[in-house]
Amino acid sequence: MAERLFDKVWDRHVVASPEGEPPLLYIDLHLVHEVTSPQAFEALALAGRAVRRPDLTIATMDHDVPTIGLDKPIADPLAAEQIARLRANCAEHGITLHALGSPQQGIVHVIGPQLGLTQPGMTVVCGDSHTSTHGAFGALAFGIGTSEVEHVLATQTLSQVKPRAMAVTVDGELPAGCTAKDLVLGIIRDLGVGGGSGSVIEYRGAAIRALSMEGRMTVCNMSIEGGARAGMIAPDDTTFGYLEGRKHAPKGAAWERALDDWRSLVTDDGAEFDAEIRVDAGALRPAVTWGTNPAQSVSIDDVVPEPAAAKTPAARQAAERALTYMNLKPGTAIRDIPVDAVFIGSCTNGRLEDLRAAADVVRGRTVRAGVRALVVPGSAAVKAQAEEEGLDRLFTAAGFEWRSAGCSMCLGMNGDILAPGERSASTSNRNFEGRQGPGGRTHLVSPAVAAATAVAGHFAAPADL
């Protein structure tokens, strides 16, 4: 029977299929961070249970950590306590922890792939919705809540109703100036924030194949913003080339056996999906969100839309609310909107290629006076590599702040926040009301557009400069 990639990965992880209950799936890799784990570890302790597989668990500190002044104790007592809690929990249970200050610390969805821990055909979970990122490797990767974190710690399994399978096929070629970020924002614009609900998306087609691993991670990362349970891309030579030689990638004879298995992880010819959408990559332009959810975006060439033009009364109401919150008038050209802050970073766009893309735009230019601009590498390793290439000096010479790794201004838990009313161009994944700070106004863009916007002081594409 013709099977989809999703079925192949799902089926090989079913531990048990009890009568009248959802199947029990085995979890190959559990990523842990400081924010969604303390209550899980506490519940484990209260029930007198141990972590079943500390050897399949890895922890890091990312959400709360400061990105500046790392030599001082953490100023926020709540964050300091939460981080201390993670340290204690990992020590007690024998879980490897990449702590603040260590060379492999970073955003959880950046360090997994860097270490070669994320591999095709695996199940990967984490108490964080952007776990979908790891699907770029052909893994089944999804976010879970704290009770499920406890369940995975105790049993290394999860009970899951099998989602439906949706195909998003992207034909053609991304035009010059368009990136994986613009592609996924375009997909979400078509899908809507609930369109992928109940489904695992497989991204297919020439434009997907043409993406680097980092580009594929950007696309899969934002699957959750379209409501999907997970996003997957079938592994290929690009995937194998990325993985070969990484710390936890198989070596020697084991590598050959793994490759054999991984090459089977494709959707069979003739397999049917429960839903399909097609996107023409060639028609895309750099995207900018204007509203308060990731589907509310337009091309940078466009204007803020008229709520009356929305397809349903609910959509019109939502657009009106969004424009009031964002303090935008319909008909305003996107390029005419000034910004107060620019944030380059996050699990969506905080990797080396993202920093290089931004650096290429910034080289020989300076940040507009009055604009606060931050570059936050996604991990300590990304930061180190970027510094070897001189990107840090390039950014600071231009007037950017060069920070240490963490989630930072994506969600502002560490003090890197927008002041009320401030407007940002951000390479992160969510523009919800207050996401980057109470009253903060977030516009999602690609790293290249973020960099050009920092220089121009208003939304701009690199070609405009």
Partner 1 sequence: MSGVQRIAGRGVVVMRSDVDTDQIIPAAWLKRVERTGFGAGLFEAWRKDPEFPLNQPGADQGRVLISGLNFGCGSSREHAVWALQDFGFAAVVAPSFADIFRGNAISAGLVPARVTEHAAARLAAALADAPDRPVVVDVAARTVSVGQEVTEPFELSDYAQWRLLEGLDDVGLTLRHEDEIAAFEARRPGWLPVVAPAGTGDEPRSAG
29 contacts partner 1 (rule: CB under 8 A): yes
9 contacts partner 1 (rule: CB under 8 A): no
The interface with partner 1 within residues 188-207 (CB under 8 A) comprises 193-194, 197-198
422 contacts partner 1 (rule: CB under 8 A): no
Which residues, other chains included, contact 90 with Cβ-Cβ below 8 Å and sequence gap of 6+? 32, 59, 96, 97
CB of 317 to partner 1, least distance (A): 8
Question: What b/e readout covers 185-213, taking b as 16+ CB neighbours within 10 angstroms?
Answer: bbbbbebbbebbeebbbbbbbebbebbeb
The correct pick among 3, 7, 68, 76 for binding partner 1 (CB under 8 A) is 76
Which residues, other chains included, contact 356 with Cβ-Cβ below 8 Å and sequence gap of 6+? 389, 391
Could you tell me how many residues of this chain bind partner 1 (CB under 8 A)?
A: 99
Distance CA 17, CA 3 (A): 19
Site string for partner 1, 340-379 (x = CB under 8 A): ----------------------------------------
Directed axis angle between helix 38-46 and helix 146-155, to 10°? 50
The correct pick among 7, 85, 169, 205 for binding partner 1 (CB under 8 A) is 85
236 contacts partner 1 (rule: CB under 8 A): no
Distance CA 419, CA 329 (A): 21
The interface with partner 1 within residues 277-336 (CB under 8 A) comprises 293, 314, 317-318, 321
233 contacts partner 1 (rule: CB under 8 A): no
The correct pick among 5, 108, 110, 117 for binding partner 1 (CB under 8 A) is 117
Distance CA 322, CA 299 (A): 18
Distance CA 302, CA 294 (A): 16
411 contacts partner 1 (rule: CB under 8 A): yes
Window contacting partner 1 (CB under 8 A); options: 3-11, 157-165, 301-309, 444-452 = 157-165
240 contacts partner 1 (rule: CB under 8 A): no
Q: Which is nearer to partner 1, 2 or 80 (CB)?
A: 80
Distance CA 363, CA 365 (A): 6
The interface with partner 1 within residues 210-229 (CB under 8 A) comprises 224-225, 227, 229
The correct pick among 5, 9, 100, 374 for binding partner 1 (CB under 8 A) is 100
CB of 123 to partner 1, least distance (A): 11
Question: Tokens 């300076």, residue?
Answer: 366
Q: Is the Cβ–Cβ distance between 211 and 136 less than 8 Å?
A: no
Q: Which is nearer to partner 1, 368 or 383 (CB)?
A: 383
- CB atoms under 10 Å from CB of 256, counted, come to 10
The correct pick among 78, 206, 309, 465 for binding partner 1 (CB under 8 A) is 78
Which residues, other chains included, contact 98 with Cβ-Cβ below 8 Å and sequence gap of 6+? 58, 59, 60, 61, 104, 105, 106, 111
Which strands, in side-by-side order, build the sheet including 275-280?
Answer: 230-232, 199-204, 164-171, 275-280
The correct pick among 257, 278, 363, 393 for binding partner 1 (CB under 8 A) is 257
